[in-house]
Amino acid sequence: MTKLNPDNINVILATDCGSTTTKAILIEKVDGHYRQTFRGEAPTTVEEPAADVTIGVVNAVTEVGELAGRRLVDDDGHIIRPTSNGDGCDIYISTSSAGGGLQMMVAGVVREMTAASAKRAALGAGAIVMDVIASNDRRLPHQQIQRIRELRPDMILVSGGTDGGNATKVVEIAELIAPAKPQPRFGSEYRMPLIYAGNKDAAPLVEKVFDDSVELSVVPNLRPVLERENLGPARDAIHDLFLEHVMAHAPGYNKLIEWTDAPIMPTPGAVGNILQTIAERQGINAVGVDIGGATTDVFSVFNGTFNRTVSANLGMSYSISNVCAEAAMPNILRWVHIDMDERELRNRVKNKMIRPTTIPQTLDALVFEQAIAREALRLAYKQHKEFATTLKGVQQQRTVGDTFSQELGGQTIVDNMQLDLLVGSGGVLSHAPRMQQTAAMLIDAFQPEGITMLAKDSIFMMPHLGVLSQVHPQAALEVFERDCLVYLGTCIAPKGAGKSGKPCLSYQISGGSLNESGELAFGDLKLFPLAPEETASVTLEPSRGFDVGAGAGKPLTADVKGGTVGLILDGRGRPLAPPTNAAECREAVTSWIGELDLYP
Amino acid sequence: MAQAYTPGLKVTNRLSHRMRRVLPIAGEVKASVGDRVQARDVVAETFMPGDITPVNLSNTLSLPPADVLECMLISEGERVEIGQSLARTKGIFGLFKSEYKSKAAGTVESISNVTGQLIIRGKPLPVQVRAFLAGEVVEVIPNEGVVIEAEVSYVQGIFGIGGETYGSVRMACQQHTDELKADLIKPDMEDCVIVGGARMTGDAVRRAIEVGAAAVISGGMDDQDLRDILGYDLGVAITGSEQIGITLVITEGFGEIAMAKRTFELFSSREAADAAVNGATQIRAGVMRPEIVIPLSEEEKAREVEPEHTAGLLEVGAAVRIIRDPYFGQIGKVAGLPAELTVLNSESMARILEVECESGERVAVPRANVEMIEV
């Protein structure tokens, strides 16, 4: 890998090798600013018959080159670097989730404490966590061993105990894993990588337990004391082993690793990076979601704390049937305003599962698919909220003042009222024919409270920018702000519940092309046009029992940004609960669809 | 995109087919190059390390872990039986001794003085790989398995449940458009691979299980029936390990859909032949479809080879099947391939193609919603 002075980098080529598609983008310095200029894509070629990821990369890059009028690949099929005479690029970087991404098993002593921290470390590094083994996971030891034997993870992360604390329990966990002899997913050519990030005093004992069948790396404890996590070293070790062992055994990756100017990152790890960087820079709380065919990733940064979850079986094609099974058909159909036959729908869902690449042709197919997306996103966010919590097991000092607010450790840190920016990406959100549909899916599923900006990742560029932020943060930020996000607008939603038709909010909006005032009735939605470059000042006076961010019943004045959809006032209450009576629900949903002009 | 293609499923009367049959872990290969094997023959075998029973003697005998070793009556590597005394405490002045009697049989793998944990490893578990494809062994992969080759009729289904099974082909329907109903399943279909036409009903599947059929193959089935048969709603399309007493394969999709005529005719032409069926399906990276393999007899092999049908490029005249509503299941020929993006009824922009259906109707559908078929 070559080291270049960032000031001399003018042309950046980035690829993301997904399970099905390899996406390439070109970033160029235009008038002193980095801009994303061209993109191309090609089928990923990890599977037979090609079985070489670089073929897909070259195809995608060639397409970008053709569009840009710039030769990026030479006659030998190599990426041309550095730039010369208008050809080639200065750096080339890549992320990868091909072949199912990075799949890990994690273990810890107590499920809610060290095992949860280990899971956070693995997820934060971009892995799919196949299972969490813990002393108190309610399985008997032989059941745990059986499970370890069945799984074929890419690597294992073991933690447990605080530094200087009890060593026995974590050694017990190691003693369960060692005889199970877990097999790595990519065959038997390499030893199973295992990272130990537990009580440092137990490290020599754990080393003794494992024989040569595993490649053991010992890193600093990820929970050195109960009050603090130290996930960095474990995450770094995961990234290193991902490259050294897992990627090196995937077809063609040896070549790709040589080509890139920065280490290849797992795609979700890169998305987490960029979201964290943005939240930090702008001092905001943000949530990002990427809904794919098989999985849904949710990322959040609240008060500087980053969390990521992968809902492995919530997705819009491969996993669509699982969404229906988990959410149950009545929950999906509550978002639908037209007659549909359940038997027919069930068959349609299965047909989409077995032929995942089809797209909705008719309006009712689109309405149904977007209803499923709402439920997939809702379930994924629910899982995220349950996972992104304050540390459990922390001793708390209480005073008399805390008598009535006995907050325990392990409370979710996801607070929709504190959420500033909600970003959606993935086919069903990015390719929705109307922007209002994307906004509506995000609002219905995530139920933001107070004032929240909504955006979508235009062409799923976040992975590329995440890895770029490691080598050229300035370029990554410039592209993120100028080209990556499409701002949909702002949602204002009072938190609380009331009677349908009764006012829940008085508002005054001025700025841009708007000069509006009025009352919002409970159960209603209102849309005001406010263009992407416009901002407006809003004065909100919530009714008793409703909160827009300043406290129940307290007024709030704020500036809000516009977007391709505009300003949405959502008076449907939080938590959002469509009427349980089917006819009333249909009527309500029809009126919301009408107000937002969702469908023709 | 570099190249747009629509993968179809393989349905062929005659094919020189090779299959790799390997163990999940290293073991012994039971066949040699040149051997003729039958579908049910074991071609490779190994023993997985046995199940493990951990016993925390420290807790059980109320001892500090460090003291466990001196109380052991057996040592690492020794064989133990159920009921055998494994450890005995010294007691107080030789009295009040506690003892631990083994609840599992096996070999003592380890005794830890850190945790006081004893690990007993049970008998090795045999893992066998059968030939599945009756034919000739053409390659031996040392310690792993074999590659078998045979001339076969070969059909890939779109979705299946249940694992590998064997039986002779029995046609239950007269036409590829006939629904497979319970009354078409006869008691003499025991151990057979029953072939239907269009949708297989839930009752037909239950009847087939009753008569002891090996497998049922048909064009489609209702998801509601699948749920009733499995007892749960199938969430993720990774199948093959279901234990429902039968293997099911659908060749076209879910709902009211007829088996492709060519597939039906292929099965008809091979009635009474021995077939091997595997319902295992995986619709993820490394896609796996269910398959039916029917080896050809010597007499059939001597017949003239029919030209191979291949699904070519998506071009005018190519045979396609529409795989999404509102025209789901219809078969036709590509009549036009407009280059420009078209707005669909859903308002999505997509590249479309025009299909002239068998009914004569001409319809426009997104290119993503058709699959190439072999005719």
Residue B5: pLDDT band (50, 70, 90) is very low
B298 vs chain A: nearest CA distance in angstroms? 32
From the CB of residue B358, how many other CB atoms can be counted at a distance below 10 Å? 11
Which of A197, A232, A251 marks a domain boundary?
A251
Instruction: Please say whether the beta carbons of A335 and A392 come within 8 A.
Output: no
Residue with tokens 């993006």: B341
Q: Which residue of B has its CA nearest to A152?
A: B24
Inter-chain CB proximity A100 and B284 less than 8 Å: yes
- Domain containing A225 — which CATH number? 3.40.50.2300
For residues A199 and A70, membership in a common domain is answered with: no
The average pLDDT across B89-114 equals 86
pLDDT at A299: 92
pLDDT at A323: 93
In which region does residue A566 sit, left (phi positive, over 0), alpha (psi from -120 to 50) or beta (all else)? Answer: left
Q: What tokens were used for A394?
A: 């922390």
Tens of pLDDT, residue by residue over A568-584, are: 999 999 999 888 888 99
The average pLDDT across B254-280 equals 93
Nearest to B115 among A168, A343, A351 (CB): A168
pLDDT for residue A461 is more than 60: yes
Which of A66, A98, A130 marks a domain boundary?
A98
For residues A337 and A233, membership in a common domain is answered with: no
pLDDT at A35: 94
What are φ and ψ of residue A281, in 5° steps?
Answer: -60, -45
Q: Which residue of B has its CA nearest to A64?
A: B1
pLDDT at A455: 95
For residues A429 and A457, membership in a common domain is answered with: yes
For residues A362 and A495, membership in a common domain is answered with: yes
User: Please, what is the average pLDDT of chain A?
Assistant: 88
State the total domains in chain A.
Answer: 3
Inter-chain CB proximity B235 and A354 less than 8 Å: no
Domain assignment present for A262:
no
Could you tell me the domains of chain B? Answer: 11-33+148-302 (3.50.30.10), 52-121 (2.40.50), 319-372 (2.30.30)
Instruction: Please say whether the beta carbons of A488 and A535 come within 8 A.
Output: no
Inter-chain CB proximity B349 and A433 less than 8 Å: yes
Residue A180: pLDDT band (50, 70, 90) is confident
Task: Quote the domain boundaries for residue A31.
Answer: 6-98
Q: What tokens were used for A111?
A: 């499920």
Domain assignment present for A444:
yes
For residues A479 and A429, membership in a common domain is answered with: yes
Residue with tokens 């998506």: B314
Which of A200, A231, A251 marks a domain boundary?
A251
Residue A293: pLDDT band (50, 70, 90) is confident
Task: Pick the range with the lowest mean pLDDT from A386-400, A407-421, A497-511, B307-321.
Answer: A386-400
Domain assignment present for A448:
yes
Domain assignment present for A266:
no
Distances (CA, A) of A149 to A146, A217, B369: 5, 21, 40
Reduced to 3 states (helix: H, G, I; strand: E, B; else coil), residue A15 is: strand
- In angstroms, what is the C-alpha Rg of chain B? 28
pLDDT at A207: 92
For residues A227 and A348, membership in a common domain is answered with: no
For residues A180 and A35, membership in a common domain is answered with: no
Element (H, E) at B88: strand B85-88
Question: How many inter-chain contacts (A to B, CB under 8 Å) are there?
Answer: 175
Enumerate residues 6+ apart whose C-beta is below 8 A from B252.
B158, B219, B220, B258, B259, B260, B321, B329
Query: How far apart are the C-alpha atoms of A364 and A341, rounded to whole Å?
Result: 11
Domain assignment present for A368:
yes
Top residue of B236, B250, B370 to mutate, by most chain A CBs within 10 Å, is: B236
Nearest to A313 among B115, B236, B328 (CB): B236
More confident residue, A149 or A394: A149
Interface predicted TM-score (ipTM) of this complex, two decimals: 0.83
The average pLDDT across A321-335 equals 92
For residues A465 and A364, membership in a common domain is answered with: yes
pLDDT for residue B171 is more than 90: yes
Instruction: Give the residue among B77, B166, B60, B172 at the shortest CA–CA distance from B116.
Output: B60
For residues A377 and A504, membership in a common domain is answered with: yes
From the CB of residue A75, how many other CB atoms can be counted at a distance below 10 Å? 6
Domain assignment present for A280:
no
Taking a contact as any Cβ pair under 8 Å apart, which residues of chain A between 18 and 47 contact chain B?
Answer: 19, 41-43, 46-47
CB contact, 8 Å: A84 with chain B? no
pLDDT at B4: 29
A415 vs chain B: nearest CA distance in angstroms? 31
* Total residues found in chain A within this entry: 600
For residues A94 and A109, membership in a common domain is answered with: no
Instruction: Please say whether the beta carbons of B29 and B44 come within 8 A.
Output: yes
Instruction: Please say whether the beta carbons of A223 and A79 come within 8 A.
Output: no
Domain assignment present for A356:
yes
Nearest to A321 among B110, B235, B287 (CB): B235
Hey, what amino acid is at B318? Answer: A
pLDDT for residue B199 is more than 60: yes
Q: What percent of chain B has pLDDT over 90?
A: 54
Enumerate residues 6+ apart whose C-beta is below 8 A from B92.
none
For residues A212 and A110, membership in a common domain is answered with: yes
pLDDT at B309: 52
From the CB of residue B190, how many other CB atoms can be counted at a distance below 10 Å? 13
Domain assignment present for A222:
yes
pTM: 0.82
For residues A112 and A90, membership in a common domain is answered with: no
The average pLDDT across A546-550 equals 95
From the CB of residue B216, how many other CB atoms can be counted at a distance below 10 Å? 30
Distances (CA, A) of A517 to A498, A526, A541: 21, 12, 11
